Structure 1
Amino acid sequence: MPDREAVVLVLAPVGRDGKVAEAILREVGVASRVETSLADLVAGLDKAACAVITEEALLKSDRRGIAEWVEGQPAWSDFPFVLLTLRGATPDERLTELLGNVTVLERPFHPSILASAVRAALRARRRQWEVEAHLAERQKTHERQALLIRELHHRVKNTLATVQGLLGATARSTKNVETFYQSFSDRIVSLGKTHTLLTEDYWQTAPLHELLQNELGPYGVAGSRRIVLDGPSVELAADLAVPAGMAFHELTTNATKHGALSQANGRITVTWSVTQGEAGRTLVLDWVETGGPRVSVPERKGFGSTLLQRVLAQQCNAVVAIDYDPAGLRFHFEAPMPGERLVPSY
């Protein structure tokens, strides 16, 4: 709901009625503003809470503008008017029908009568503003739910495609059912951990540090520097987090079998940063292994290598470099980061 002041507009161009009404309202702490024409009053109605108008001011003016404004009110709005009539005169039905939500006061009146009528009108208008705010919040919630459903459909399709890809790739890279079962199960568990992080933020982002911690955390030793994760707090969009999480799993698995984590003195250091360029933000990450067995280029390319070199590059538009340094594997990764969330955060 936009910020509004509970100001009362007063239109009484003949005599002293305008100044008198303004003085009465000021005395009881109600903000008011005297307008000099009906057109000026109509122009201020959107930000006002009530209007006090004399009967003659309406009768002597072109009423088409105020008629259009009253007719064009949103569903939640029923703007309150106070119509001041002449003593002993019957209110003109055209005017009461025109204004709709109108309280008629006959002049002269006791100051407390006007103050009471205006206060009742202000209370009614505030309740209308509360309804407006409630409806706006409901609309935001509806839009958010629609976005979540669309994102869920997108994510489920991607997840099924990912599982199908894992199934085929694992089958091609293993030689027996037992090895297939273990490798496939480990990859599904890793994928599940990434999805758990994503569901905590409505399938939008996952913390990079948590993705790495899920894979490397079990191999860290309290008080040691065996696992070092160094970089700023970064949230990865879902379409980047899923393949990145799979890549970290494959790197970790390789490190435990053939790399730094296969020996007691081995270490893994992961550093990352975010750079800002003309095309937007880019994640730059380096995975460096030391203290493990001597590294050489593998004779055959398994699923892990394919994921790191091809899947990341294609799905994430990433730049990937793997260096089989004899002193330890080095993995370099650069990927563009989306600038906006699909679903707003609460």
Structure 2
Amino acid sequence: MSGSDLVEPGALDQVLILAPYRRDAAYLGQLLAEYDMAVATCISADELTGYLAAGPGVFVTTHEALTPTLIDIVARHLNAQPPWSEMPIVVLLDRASPNSRIRGQLAAAWPRSRQLFYQRPLTQVELVSGIQSALLARMRQREVRDHIEREIELRRELNHRVKNILASVFSIFEMTRRGATSVDALADDFGARLTALSNVHSAVFEAKGEAISIAEIARLTFDPYRQMGVSRIDASGPSVMLTREAGTTLALCLHELTTNAIKYGALSVPNGQVAFHWDILPDLGPDLSVLWQETGGPPVVAPSRSGYGTRYLRAALGGLFGAKPDIMFATDGLRCEINGPLARVACNPEAPDSVSGL
């Protein structure tokens, strides 16, 4: 089997072959390639260590290739596997070999593996079927891995969201307290602002419809931060109805930007202002342009490394618009701008009307 027939290691759907004697490796590689399986072969301890580190889907070996050194290399790899992983290992035995003893030794040496033993000679169909079943099991493990990783990310995101929501609640309370003239007025204003904060989550996450306007998202997001009937966030733009998914993403991004502005930016001081504008650029596809600009706040200092919020904005807006947002930590105020195809996000890509003065 030539080097051009091999693929680089790393995918969980790859078969790694250790069969350094005779032409076993060439035969196995050719056979599995005929069934569209990705194959890699190794013949030495160093090669085996490297391929295992890359994470093969199934490991196929002949029993005579398994020296104590190689058995130990595989054992170390298995012991270092993540909890979701149980690498399938296919061992090809000879009729004359002490099969019971080999099975016992490998079971003891490799407890965290799914071991399949085949006695040669065997039919091609039997071998291919066994390896395909092992790859299918590996695919299920990969699904478990992805589920675990997604759950961990969701927990981190939830924790981050809860902290931001609590920070928003505290800021709303402080804004309300400063302008309150009585306990009853404080209770009424604070309750109304908390209700507005809740509305943006309800409108986006619990809406049964398939569209929500940018103006509505802006209104529901910014209403909790209005004080004495005067808004320090100017929001304006044409009537654009976003898909439910796009609306959810934009709402979360605006919440992220608003929370940051309250903590560190323009909304952390009495005279700070925020402009949130969106527009349709007909000459570019058309494109939807979105701009967040803070002014009048404390001097902005670019962070030494990106925090979760910045990373989220880049990932979320990048995925939404198909382009990277331009986030500038200018001295006079944070600026976040992005343009992307209107058709990616909008339910009414022609949207002629304008909305302003939110």
Contact residue 166 and residue 187 of structure 1 kept, 8 A: no
The correspondence of residues 149-188 of structure 1 with structure 2, limited to 5 A, is: 149-167=162-180, 170=181
Q: Which runs of 5+ in 2 are unaligned?
A: 1-9, 206-216, 239-249, 278-290, 317-358
Q: Which aligned runs of 4 or more in structure 1 are off by greater than 6 angstroms?
A: 183-188, 198-202, 245-248, 270-273, 335-339
Alpha-carbon deviation of 1:209? 12
The answer (yes or no) to whether the contact 2:90–2:117 under 8 Å persists in 1 is yes
Structure 1, unpaired ranges of 5+:
172-179, 219-226, 252-269, 274-280, 286-312, 319-334
Contact map agreement 1:209 1:229 (CA 8 A) in 2: no
CA RMSD of aligned residues (A): 4.7
Q: Matched residues in 2 for 1:187 and 1:68: separation?
A: 59
Pick from 10, 16, 22: which aligns with 1:15?
A: 22
| Matched residue SS, 1:34 | strand
- Cα 1:78–1:107 shift into 2, 3 Å: same
What TM-score, normalized to structure 2? 0.55
Find the aligned partners of 2:199 and 2:269 in 1 and give their Cα distance: 14
Alpha-carbon shift at residue 159 of structure 1 (Å): 2.1
Q: Which residue of 2 aligns with 1:96?
A: 107
What pairs with 1:105-116 in structure 2 (closer than 5 Å)?
105-116=118-129
2:85 aligned residue: 77
Equivalent of 1:240 in 234, 255, 261 = 261
Matched ranges for 1:140-289 at <5 A: 140-167=153-180, 170=181, 196=199, 207=218, 235=254, 236-240=257-261, 283=293
**1:9–1:51 Cα contact (<8 Å) kept:** yes
**Partners in 2 of 1:210 and 1:139 — Cα distance?**
27
Aligned to 1:29: 36
Give the 3 Å change call, closer, same or farther, for CA 23–157 of structure 1 in structure 2: same
* CA offset digits 1:305-341 (Å, max 9, x no partner): xxxxxxxx6xx427xxxxxxxxxxxxxxxx8899766
The alpha-carbon distance between structure 1 residues 159 and 122, as it changes in their structure 2 partners (threshold 3 A), is: same
Summarize deviations over 1:221-241 as a string: whole Å, max 9, x none: xxxxxx99589x995422536
Q: Measure the CA separation in 2 of the matches of 1:153 and 1:192.
A: 14
One-letter amino acid of the structure 1 residue matched with residue 26 of structure 2: K
The one-letter code of the counterpart of 2:25 is: G
Radius of gyration: which is bigger?
Answer: 1
Distance 1:228 1:195, change over 3 A: closer
Give the distance between the partners of 1:228 and 1:25, measured in 2 at CA. 61
2:327 corresponds to 1:317:
no
Shift of 1:53: 0.6
1:80 partner letter: P
Q: Which amino acid aligns with 2:36?
A: G
CA-to-aligned-CA distance 1:7-62 (integer Å, 9 cap, x gap): 10111111111111112112222221221124312321333110111111113644
Q: CA deviation at 1:207?
A: 4.5
After superposition, give the CA deviation of every residue in 1:183-219 in whole Å (9 maximum; x if it has no partner): 99789867865775588789xxx8599859x98xx9x
Q: Hey, what's the Cα distance between the residues in 2 that align with 1:185 and 1:61?
A: 75
SS at match of 1:88: coil
Q: Counterpart of 2:209? A: none
TM-score (norm 1): 0.56
Deviates more, 1:84-93 or 1:117-126: 84-93
Change (3 A) 1:186 1:138: closer
Amino acid at match of 1:94: Q
- Is 1:47–2:55 an aligned residue pair? yes
